[in-house]
Structures are given as C-alpha cells and as structure tokens.
Structure 1
Amino acid sequence: MGIPMKYVSRRTLLAGALVQRQQPIVRFDRRIRIALIGMEGHTGEILRPLTRLPDLELVAVAEPDEKAVAAARNPFISKARRYTDYRRLLEREQLDLVAVCGPNGGRAERILAAIERGLHVVAEKPLAIEMEELDRIEQALKRSRVRLSMLLPMRFSPPYLALKEIVASGEIGEVAQINAQKSYKLGERAPWYHKRETYGGTIPWIGIHMVDLMRWASGRELVEAVSFQTRFRFPELGDMENVTGTLFRLDNGGTATLHMDYLRPQTAPTHGDDRLRLAGSKGVAEYQAATGVTVVSETSKPRVIEKLPAERSLFVDFLESLYHGRPAALSLEDILRANRIVLLARQSAEQHRIVKLS
C-alpha cells in the first residue's frame, strides 16, 4: 500500500499503475454495465480486475472532485461518462451494478439510493457509520432482490487465506486467543477524515478489516467488547482518532485484542504494518510482513509457510456469485455482522463501558 495522498486515496492513485499478477479472463453471458460513485477507498479492487473482465463496462463515474479523477490516471475512468452528482448518474444511466466508495459519511444514503433502483451494490467499508443507517440498509435489502458486497479485500489475501486453512485443518486446535494490529502512516489526509460526521471513527474505518478477519479465520464469534480511543497529540487531526484499543470476549470464553494507530513513521518501508496472531489449544499461527505466515504446534516444529494460497479478487468473486450462481466467499451475514460489531465497539469507547455484541 502506498502513502495516502490529499484528496485521492492511495489505492485509487495506484490502480492505474499497478499491473495485476497474471490471472485468467472471466467471461459472462451478458454485458454488465457498472458505475463508480466516489473515488476514495479501495477503488483499486474494482478497477484492477477490469482488465480481465471483458464483459464488464465502466459506463459512468460520479465524483465532484476533479483532482481525484485526474490523479487516478486510469483508462477505464477516462472512457467513462463523468458526473459530479451521483443522483444524476443514477437517473440517467442504465446499470446493473454500482460500486459505492467516497467518504464514509453519506455512503449509506448512496447505497440506499442504488438499492431502491434495484441495482446490485459493492460498497466501500463500512456500509454505515451509524447504527440507524445500517438497519435501514438491512431492511432495504430484505425488501428487494438486490445483492450486496463490501470491500474487505484482506480476506482474499494469501497470508490470511493461509491462516484460515491452518485453523480449518485443526493443527492449532480451538482458537482461544487472537491478537490483531493495524498500524498506518498518517500521511496527508483528505478533509473528510477530520470530522466525525464524515469519518465515523477509526474503529469502524480500519477496525472492520480485522474484525472480519478475526471472526472468519478463527471460526469464533465476538460476544462482548470494551474499547478506548483517542486523538493523541496532532491537534490538526480534529475528530480523527489516531490510537485505539479494543478487547473482545470470544464465544468460548477466550479473548481477542485489536490495537490500531496512525503512528507509523514516514521512514518505515511500507505504509501499513498489519498483524494477526491466532493461539489455539494445540498451537499458534500468525502473520506479519517481517516474518510471513508462521506456525508452531504440538505436531510440528516452528515453520514458515512458504507456499501460500493464490491471491483472489473480492470483486470477481462477487460477480461470479451474481452471474455464475456460485456461493460468495463473503456473505451478507458476515458483512452486516462486522459492521455492527465495529459500531458497537466504537460505542463502547464513546460511552466508557463494556458492550454486548448482540
């Protein structure tokens, strides 16, 4: 991951320059017309696979910031019709699917507008920064035939796929302790990060990645949480927290911790330092960039997993679930659950109390 840039996400900026590892062409039996609403967040997860999706057409982009569009330097974006208002785009275009990105505040309204038009949605995370918004999205989906996914690409990344396989094999036994970390360089952030109503908080914004990974990789449920968050020094951050910590109780009595910060020095070799450790009744498996995926158990000496599973695309997986009838690797139930957990964990920090995650 690159360093965040002002007004345009690092992922969008890199989307036009990065070359995907050789992956197979995926065909569908019809033309699929998609639109992109907003240029913030994991837009590269949508743009990068387009080179191997010849039946998809990015027909329109809604983004009020000219700088963000210009900075993307992406051929698919340059060919698409441009709108500054997403509502005008939805009124005028004949679409099958909408990718909803942009600032966190207002994302729920954009998702709801797409659902009301019967359009499938793949959205940046979180879907909503308030519980009432999340409830409205869930109810709207129940009333429609629309399918929805959320941009949680870490679940499709080789190291975490490997951790999932290790746990599923039974080698480390039943997981009872999870430790997760996300540490980022602060870089230069767009103005929306600095206001609670448009950012929503660091726990929902980046914590949702690890909440999803902890549940999915371990096979355990998170049932209670207590959180702390602060804006440590750096008054220019405004409402944006740069240090958070959450302790979860697992459904089997174990515990999980998640600590996050924007304190990674600019001199660090990578933008982020993500870590996940799973300790079970028979062993421990963990991942960090410095050491790779490692495992030690009652049946094996400490070892590094050299052969990792192949990288997968969340967007392609979602499309194949829509048009090939395959089960989606990321279920709607998991999406809503992860979003609900991070909002409750944020509530714990704001109200200074333990919360039940039911």
Structure 2
Amino acid sequence: MQPIKIGFWGSEGHQIHGQMDRYPQLQPVACGDMAPAAEQKLKDKYPDMVVCDNFDDLLNVDGLQMVSLCSKQRADQIEITIQALGRNIHVYAEKPCAIIESDLDRIIEAASKSQATFHEMAGTVYDQPYWAMKQLVAEGVIGDVVQVLAQKSYPMHERRPQCELIDGGLVEQNGVHAMRFVEHLTGLKATSTQAMQTPLGETRPGSDLQMACHITGQLENGGLYAVIANYLNPTGFGTWGNEMVRVFGTKGMMESVDAGKRTRLVVGDQDRGEIDTSGPAPDWLSLVLDDVLGKNAMPIDLQTELQPTRTVIRARATVTQVVVPN
C-alpha cells in the first residue's frame, strides 16, 4: 500500500513532523506556517518537501492526501479544517480543534459530508496506565462508576500564550486532557459542567492567562466528576505533566498518580496493588492512520472522540472568573 502524502501546517502544539520514523504509513510532502528552523530541518530530511506560504498552496501540492494542523492561533484552525475536508483531504488537528461549540459542530458536519476523515489529537487515554484503567472499568471490576477525580498540571513558562485565542486557554487546552480521563476512560458522557478559574500567579502585564481552574459536573449515569488543571507543576517534579486519576465505583476504586508512576486497584476487601499495565496500549495516531487507509474503523465514533472537547468548551463558555484581590 502506498504511503499517505501528508502536509504539516503550523507548529503551535504537538505537531507530528518529528515522529515520522515511527509512522512509515506517512510520506511528508509539504509544510507551512512553521518556525524557520523546523521548516529547514524538514527540507534537509525531505529534499522534495514543498514549503508553502499559505494554506491554499499547501492544499494544492500535488497528491496531498492529509494535513496535520497546529495553527499559531487555534481560533484560526476552524476554517482551514473545513476547507481541507471540503477538498476531501484528511485532517488531524491539535486540541482543542475548536474553541466555541458552534465551530465544533461545523467541523463534525463538514466531516460527515466529506470523503475524508477528521480526527483530533485525542490519544490521552490510549497510553498506559490509562488504557488498563479503561479496560478495568469496561470489565466492571470496580462496579458502576460513581465519582471521578482527575488532574492535569503543566509547568509555567514565559512561552505560555498571553491570549487564550492562541491555544484555547487553560480550561480548553489543558483541561481537555483531564476531561478525557473522565469521559474516555470511563466511557461516560458528562451531562452538565461548570468551571471556575483564577489568574493568581500570572505576573505578565496585559496577560489573560489563567493559572488554575476546576471543572465539575454530572455524568450520564448519575455519577459525579471533578477536574483540576493548572500551570503550577514545579520543575522539580521530574516530568513535564503531573497527572492524577481516581475512579470510585460501587465495588472498588483505582488510581494513577505521579504522572502514571504509581497505580493502585482496590476491590472490596482486596488491595490488589499496582494495576497490571504490561499489555500494549493502542497507539492513537496508528488508529487514525488505519482509519484513513480504510484498514480498520476507529474504536470510538467522532462524537465520542470530541465529547471531552465539547465539555471543556461548554465549561469555558460559562466559567466563573476569580478576581484576585489587590
């Protein structure tokens, strides 16, 4: 089977151009809107790579079949997503793929009308130990899920955008990981959501960066969830992200803490110790590429894939803003 000819647009986020050795299914043919150093590295590695000045030129590169989007402003990513799908070009988009709900619905509608596929970079739980936890929930090991607590913490640094239009802001670009822990891991959809956020700790003048938030609500089975997200992970913690997930069910509970380094499963009066994570987890991008190639269907439909994004969009739309006292 011939490889998929892919173009890269933007590098504001988790652009996949540096992972090509892992994915022989992809053949890079074009790029644009990236840092000059990144574009030059691509040209050095792929001499036939076409560097494009605008997105129209990228779409017109001969044989282009797929684009990976990490736009400099996430708010600008919507129109080019729809433009690519309208040309029947597959789209793999950085999260959040939209920052308002009507735009999310526009993407889903465009994907439904296109001969191409759309996917978000949504593989948070398609990695250990979260994949093993997802299987335990599905198998009913801890009973019905009653309450979920999830955390995503990143470090603060000067490159953090001072405008939320660039990456969707704390609630959407950071909180979506924790909402995937809630919704993708348990298989339950959030039916209500509310959020509060504070800029406490952000000292740059004129910045609208939020430093911490919490998101709470109800799950479709009547259970509850609570999420915290922040830019307060100290460098001494040892990993870029500090993740935590605790799931409480009618038969037991399980947890992953310290960025997945420590896990525990307790069922009834049995402390079963660490969760078995020895089995392989599916690679999200490989699943996406199998879908593009028509080899296998995705394990979840697009509405389910984008449900955590929808939840954090709704949370941000009605967020309570803390005013830090002088």
Match of 2:83 in 1: 113
Match of 1:322 in 2: 292
Give yes or no for contact 2:132–2:276 (8 Å, CA) kept in 1: no
Match of 2:236 in 1: 267
Give yes or no for contact 1:62–1:84 (8 Å, CA) kept in 2: yes
**Quick one: distance in 2 between partners of 1:113 and 1:254?**
39
Give yes or no for contact 2:42–2:49 (8 Å, CA) kept in 1: no
1:80 Cα deviation from its structure 2 partner? 2.4
Match of 2:208 in 1: 239
1:79 Cα deviation from its structure 2 partner? 5.8
Residues 202, 176 of structure 1: alpha-carbon distance in 2 compared, 3 angstrom cutoff: same
**Quick one: distance in 2 between partners of 1:217 and 1:140?**
27
Match of 1:297 in 2: 267
**Quick one: distance in 1 between partners of 2:233 and 2:295?**
42
Give yes or no for contact 1:178–1:276 (8 Å, CA) kept in 2: yes
Residues 330, 76 of structure 1: alpha-carbon distance in 2 compared, 3 angstrom cutoff: farther
**Quick one: distance in 2 between partners of 1:328 and 1:132?**
24
1:35 and 2:7 are equivalent in the alignment? yes
Q: 1:177 aligns with which of 147, 151, 155?
A: 147
**Quick one: distance in 2 between partners of 1:79 and 1:92?**
11
Match of 2:186 in 1: 218
Q: CA RMSD in A?
A: 2.4
1:199 Cα deviation from its structure 2 partner? 3.0
**Quick one: distance in 1 between partners of 2:25 and 2:254?**
40
Higher helix share: 1
1:163 Cα deviation from its structure 2 partner? 0.4
**Quick one: distance in 2 between partners of 1:30 and 1:117?**
20
1:1-358 equivalence runs, <5 A: 29-44=1-16, 47-48=18-19, 50-69=20-39, 76=45, 80-103=49-72, 104-189=74-159, 193-236=161-204, 238-289=207-258, 291-298=261-268, 300-350=270-320
1:75 Cα deviation from its structure 2 partner? 6.3
1:53 Cα deviation from its structure 2 partner? 3.7
Residues 221, 132 of structure 1: alpha-carbon distance in 2 compared, 3 angstrom cutoff: closer
1:98 Cα deviation from its structure 2 partner? 1.0
Partner SS state of residue 135, structure 2? helix
The one-character-per-residue Cα deviations of 1:252-287 (angstroms, maximum 9, x if unpaired) are 222100001101223331111011111000100111
1:113 Cα deviation from its structure 2 partner? 1.6
Query: Could you tell me which amino acid in structure 2 is paired with residue 343 of structure 1?
Result: I
1:47 Cα deviation from its structure 2 partner? 3.9
1:81 Cα deviation from its structure 2 partner? 2.1
**Quick one: distance in 2 between partners of 1:199 and 1:246?**
18
The answer for unaligned runs of 5 or more in structure 1 is: 1-28, 353-358
Match of 1:19 in 2: none
The runs of at least 4 consecutive aligned structure 1 residues that moved more than 6 Å come to 72-75
Query: Could you tell me which amino acid in structure 2 is paired with residue 321 of structure 1?
Result: D
With structure 1 as the length reference, what TM-score do the two structures score?
Answer: 0.82
**Quick one: distance in 1 between partners of 2:114 and 2:130?**
33
Query: Could you tell me which amino acid in structure 2 is paired with residue 209 of structure 1?
Result: H
With structure 2 as the length reference, what TM-score do the two structures score?
Answer: 0.89
The alignment covers a number of residue pairs equal to: 319
Residues 64, 74 of structure 1: alpha-carbon distance in 2 compared, 3 angstrom cutoff: closer
Give yes or no for contact 1:47–1:76 (8 Å, CA) kept in 2: no
**Quick one: distance in 2 between partners of 1:304 and 1:337?**
29
Query: Could you tell me which amino acid in structure 2 is paired with residue 230 of structure 1?
Result: T
Q: Percent identity?
A: 27
Query: Could you tell me which amino acid in structure 1 is paired with residue 267 of structure 2?
Result: S
Give yes or no for contact 2:25–2:289 (8 Å, CA) kept in 1: no
Residues 265, 52 of structure 1: alpha-carbon distance in 2 compared, 3 angstrom cutoff: closer
Query: Could you tell me which amino acid in structure 2 is paired with residue 125 of structure 1?
Result: K
**Quick one: distance in 1 between partners of 2:3 and 2:189?**
40
Partner SS state of residue 217, structure 1? helix
**Quick one: distance in 1 between partners of 2:42 and 2:10?**
15
Match of 1:3 in 2: none
Which sits farther off after the overlay, 97-106 or 170-179? 97-106
Give yes or no for contact 1:36–1:99 (8 Å, CA) kept in 2: yes
**Quick one: distance in 1 between partners of 2:217 and 2:142?**
20
Partner SS state of residue 232, structure 1? coil
Give yes or no for contact 1:245–1:257 (8 Å, CA) kept in 2: yes
1:236 Cα deviation from its structure 2 partner? 1.3
Residues 42, 79 of structure 1: alpha-carbon distance in 2 compared, 3 angstrom cutoff: farther
1:296 Cα deviation from its structure 2 partner? 0.5
Give yes or no for contact 1:243–1:262 (8 Å, CA) kept in 2: yes
The one-character-per-residue Cα deviations of 1:280-330 (angstroms, maximum 9, x if unpaired) are 001001111375221001163241124433143211111112224312134
